[in-house]
Chains A and B, each alone.
Chain A
Amino acid sequence: MRKVVKKQVLLQGNEACVEGALMAGCRFYAGYPITPATEIMEIMAEKMPETGGVFIQMEDEIASLGAVIGASLAGMKSMTATSGPGFSLMQEHIGFAGMAEVPCVIVDVMRAGPSTGLPTQLSQGDVMQARWGTHGDHPIIVLAPSSVYEFFELTVQAFNLSERYRTPVILLVDEVVAHMREGVILPAKNSLEIEERPHPTVPPEWYIPYADPGTGVPPMPAFGDGYRYHVTGLYHDVRGYPTVRTDEVEPLIHRLFTKISKDFDRLQWFDAFETEDARVTVIAYGCVARAAHRAVRQAREKGLKVGLIKLKILWPFMRRTISGILANSQKVLVPELNVGQISREVKRVNESRCEVVTLNKVDGTPIKPAEILQKLGEIYS
């Protein structure tokens, strides 16, 4: 149970993100200005020195994530925040952090793209980039809040997951959630579970940096702790040294995937509304889930048996949860502010069980409850 000590405060989404980061123990922020994410940077510039942490404005987003990874290797929980164009630049180092297993948190407040796009209007266009933006096969964890409080909560969880699995974690946020203000009650600091990366328990002579301790996540010392080891973005053996041996390459990539996939059951984060008897289920995330929530309530008032699954985690895709929905509904509706990125995944796991209907908007404006309601009316039978 959450112990409430503070009274309600009015926070902007980006402000709530900073509160979450501070509560999670973030002590290093490096970034480059870009709307609609800049508030996170500006608040961090003020707060980091107050908390004994480090803030630095870097020369670009590649440098920002490089500095974040460096600070994390030196033992600090670290993060950066950006929007589409900067997120594109960060892809190289997202891959590095994944390969070298360096915990870090990256916030992408999406704006309509491609390129400079529609600065800085609403979009959910980076869902696939967050999944596959960096080259090569790799796992990734991507969280998507749909309210100010959730932005706070999922920022804490982003740090927890990145520490637990030693992996980059991306918070994919839309402009509405980043900029709107809501009253929230922040939990007391010690009421939240804060996770730390596993540390080695053996003396340095016995430490083998990339050996699997059984959990898939090797313990990680900080540079300067006395455990001298090698970190590289090359495929490496258990000591961290570059290798091209197939019997070393394959186990590494396998472990990088399975350290997360073994916990897929723990990573089904969603909220369900009125889904038990739903004939049509809406699957949505971010600000679209808010519109969908209202549309579902209105449809219920009219007697339609419809429900909503609000996704809080986009990647790894919640196959188990979504399969359950697809098995129990006649139709699903996937409204999104892109040409159909999560709906592709829904169709992929659907295996023709039910009809998947999409509702897409890519003009920089929100999907309104009335539009979802109308669509529900059209497809309901």
Chain B
Amino acid sequence: MRQTEHLVHKYLRSSKRFPHIWCAGCGIGIFMQALIRVIDQNEYSKDDIVLISGIGCSGRLPVYVDFNTLHTTHGRALTFATGIKLANPRLKVITVMGDGDAVAIGGNHFIHAARRNVEIASFVLNNSVYGMTGGQSSPTTPYGVITASAPYGNLEPDFDICRLAEAAGAVFVARATVYHTQLLDRLIDKALKKKGAAVVEVVSQCTTYAGHFLKLKSPVDMMKWQKNNSVTVEKAKQQSEAELEGKIVIGVLVDRERPSYHEQYQSLLAEKSKI
């Protein structure tokens, strides 16, 4: 507790008017605290961190923390991040996106950022819904559930963000939930240290909108659901696809090496630059 208080004063912006905009019981704040904790543990300079978000409830995160912060447009955080990293490779570039943000409107940018392998640590706060706009279906909303935009039930299958990241070429892909905070810290740490495109899907709860279609009444119920439905990567390897149906596989899914875009660009510069 004392440790947390100390971090709050060190990393939250004292000049920002609080309270924050998130609903009571929302998972985004848990992720924010984990991110701050890991940044503090690693003693990164605040001046070297650029935290970039898209639009949505998750998109509001950067404004509260004392880094170089950039709140961009819906789905496009990674495009700005790419420009920043290439313009100043010394900076540690982090993006925070919502599920709709990252893989609906921003899906194309998500694919190409992973493929290009620019060194950006991305965190997708997956609450299976469009939170900010009031509970419409997102690409990760479960099939069949009723949402604000699917009053007769969602006719679309949901989407595995991690498999997309892997197929597109991200060199680090992992999943955690905001219930599993220790794992979350470890995965954030690995992502921040990875030399290349790193993606962590953070399963989070939208208590206001996703709670009702998942038939989970309170934030506590939602977090218990995260606990009871999660299977570690190691355990999952021993289970069949049928057994894993509807489960959240957590842990490191992909960790591989491939030259990052800006490393390659730096070599190109060394060769071609005439200045």
Instruction: Give A contacts to B, CB under 8 Å.
Output: 27-28, 30, 49-52, 54, 56, 58-60, 62-76, 78, 92-93, 96, 222-226, 228-234, 239, 241-242
Contact = CB atoms under 8 A, between A and B. Distances in A.
Interface string B5-19: 000000001011100
B273 A223 contact: no
Given A49-B265, A232-B63, 8 more contacts: A59-B112, A70-B79, A70-B87, A71-B84, A74-B91, A75-B87, A228-B68, A229-B68
Contacts of B71: 230-234, 242
Contact of A49 (B73, B79, B272): B272
B260 to A, nearest CB: 13
29 contacts: A28-B83, A30-B82, A30-B83, A49-B269, A51-B274, A51-B275, A52-B269, A54-B265, A58-B79, A58-B112, A63-B76, A66-B73, A70-B70, A70-B79, A70-B87, A73-B70, A74-B91, A75-B88, A92-B73, A92-B76, A93-B76, A223-B68, A224-B50, A224-B88, A228-B46, A228-B67, A230-B69, A231-B71, A239-B15
Nearest to A228: B68
B247 interface: no
A197 B62 CA distance: 25
A52 B79 contact: no
A23 to B, nearest CB: 14
Given A54-B86, A60-B108, A228-B66, A96 B273 contact: no
A94 B105 CA distance: 18
A50 B273 contact: yes
Nearest to A231: B70
**From B79, B82, B268, residue with most partner A Cβ within 10 Å:** B79
B90 A70 contact: no
B73 A70 contact: no
Interface of B: 13, 15-17, 46-48, 50, 52, 60, 62-63, 66-73, 76, 79-84, 86-88, 90-91, 108-109, 111-112, 265, 268-269, 271-275
3 shortest interchain CB distances as A-B pairs: A70-B83, A66-B79, A67-B83
Contact of B82 (A70, A225, A239): A70
Contacts of B112: 58-59, 63
A223 B62 CA distance: 14
A70 B111 CA distance: 19
A276 B145 CA distance: 74
Contacts of A71: 83-84, 86-87
B87 A66 contact: no
Contact of B79 (A63, A74, A75): A63
A164 B90 CA distance: 27
B84 A93 contact: no
Contacts of B68: 223-224, 228-229
Given A96-B72, A228-B68, A233-B73, A69 B83 contact: yes
A75 B275 CA distance: 18
Contacts of B269: 49, 52
Given A70-B80, A96-B73, A232-B63, A63 B109 contact: yes
Contacts of A93: 73, 76
A253 B76 CA distance: 24
A224 B90 contact: yes
B79 A67 contact: yes
A135 B87 CA distance: 29
Contacts of A30: 82-83
Contacts of B272: 49-50
A56 B86 contact: yes
A60 B69 CA distance: 24
**From B69, B83, B271, residue with most partner A Cβ within 10 Å:** B83
Contacts of A228: 46-47, 66-69
B63 A66 contact: no
Given A51-B273, A52-B275, A96-B73, A69 B63 contact: no
Contacts of B111: 59
Contact of B83 (A60, A68, A232, A233): A68
**From A67, A229, A234, residue with most partner B Cβ within 10 Å:** A67
A92 B108 CA distance: 16
B47 A73 contact: no
B274 to A, nearest CB: 5
Nearest to B90: A224
Contact of A28 (B70, B81, B86): B86
Contacts of A65: 79
Contacts of A239: 15-16
B33 to A, nearest CB: 19
A280 B255 CA distance: 73
A232 B271 CA distance: 37
**From A64, A228, A241, residue with most partner B Cβ within 10 Å:** A228
Contacts of A64: 79
A66 B86 contact: no
B63 A62 contact: no
Contacts of B83: 28, 30, 66-74, 78
A30 B76 CA distance: 15
Given A96-B73, A233-B73, A62 B87 contact: no
Given A63-B112, A223-B50, A230-B71, A241 B80 contact: no
Contacts of B62: 230
A71 to B, nearest CB: 4
Contacts of B109: 59, 63, 66
